[in-house]
Structure 1
């Protein structure tokens, strides 16, 4: 079977739009996951005992259930309970639920690497918990956690392919739609693969450069 180059090129505008949707879902999910992780990290840093079991239960549940199951529950099960959620919102909620758990564990490990004596010293000189978290704990924990954080950012972006299951028109959904309509399987798989390589490989390399510069204090110097 001859590869239809002209057809593959004709689909590029639709795929570029799909890349935009992929980035939108992924970047929003990364931002919201990081917010969830920061809140949980604060609970861990200051050992807020009533909330620690809640955080542990959340992390275990989120990390030990597949993203697709979480997504289906939000999109299909919640409407049965009277809560209707769009496909896009379901994607963000599910990815935040999963991503927040992974980032929580990464930041928790980073915080545990910060000497406890620094936290106690900060409290003793009158720093508020927020000031201590912002100026003492998170800068050190963040630098220590950078490799794992950036790896998980790329992981979350790649996980956007799962949200095609609830009709979010990202790269995989667009690929499957064209295959179903025109039966151009090889062409569409080639376009999808090429775009994923062009999207994720440079991003991974860029994050690696940023990580090295941050770790060596080269930004802002």
Structure 2
């Protein structure tokens, strides 16, 4: 392993790292919004939307992200819808993540005892107050472990963005290996930067999960 080669490659990896982080977290934010919406639609069995939401969840949970990205990036232009690679990346990640987040939030909603809803209504809370003050906080608290697991999963899924020519970490590593054959150095930096991206999320996530568990237990 050549330290000089590693040093010379670091700026390229930093640029790729920032792009990967940007698209990854935009996708995660979109996944959170979609998942929360779909979970409520399914939980409260909104006519027509509930059936469409179930189809969406099954479709995206059972197809690889790579296939979804190819469909968005290469398929949609055939019908006149053309988007950039970056937009394709975070939209594809958001749609995939939304299907997983929806199941997590739905489980959180179903874990709330009906007696709490009935008690809140009996105390005179409006449906809006019931949703904001009783249902939503508990559903999210119960869903924290699943949310954190999905965040890590989605960040790792960013490794397929290179397939649509995004200059992410994986693309940079493959490009350097193909050009200069510095396989060991390129892969070493790839691993290091993925650790830098994922380890803080894992550590902070563990702390948040413990606090959410204690809050649920009333500690």
Say yes or no: TM over 0.5.
Answer: yes
Counterpart Cα distance in 2 of 1:120 and 1:84: 49
**Is the 1:42–1:133 Cα contact (8 Å) retained in structure 2?**
no
State the Cα distance separating 1:23 from its structure 2 match.
0.9
Number of the residue aligned with 2:210: 212
State the Cα distance separating 1:212 from its structure 2 match.
1.1
- TM-score scaled to structure 2, two decimals? 0.92
Counterpart Cα distance in 1 of 2:39 and 2:131: 9
Counterpart Cα distance in 2 of 1:148 and 1:133: 21
State the Cα distance separating 1:205 from its structure 2 match.
1.2
Match of 1:163 among 157, 161, 166: 161
**Is the 2:26–2:90 Cα contact (8 Å) retained in structure 1?**
yes
For the pair 1:127 / 2:118, whether they are aligned, the reply is no
Counterpart Cα distance in 2 of 1:39 and 1:123: 23
Instruction: Tell me whether 152-161 or 198-207 shows the greater mean CA deviation.
Output: 198-207
The 5 A counterparts of 1:41-52 are 41-52=39-50
**Is the 1:41–1:107 Cα contact (8 Å) retained in structure 2?**
yes
State the Cα distance separating 1:16 from its structure 2 match.
0.9
**Is the 2:42–2:54 Cα contact (8 Å) retained in structure 1?**
no
Number of the residue aligned with 2:55: 57
Counterpart Cα distance in 1 of 2:112 and 2:129: 15
The 5 A counterparts of 1:1-221 are 3-123=1-121, 125-128=124-127, 130-217=128-215
Counterpart Cα distance in 2 of 1:63 and 1:45: 18
Change (3 A) 1:123 1:36: farther
Instruction: List gaps (5 residues or longer) in structure 1.
Output: none
State the Cα distance separating 1:157 from its structure 2 match.
0.8
CA RMSD, aligned part only?
A: 1.7
**Is the 2:21–2:197 Cα contact (8 Å) retained in structure 1?**
no
State the Cα distance separating 1:94 from its structure 2 match.
0.8
Q: What secondary structure sits across from 2:46 in the alignment?
A: coil
Q: What secondary structure sits across from 1:169 in the alignment?
A: coil
Change (3 A) 1:43 1:131: farther
- TM-score scaled to structure 1, two decimals? 0.91
Change (3 A) 1:135 1:44: farther
State the Cα distance separating 1:41 from its structure 2 match.
2.2
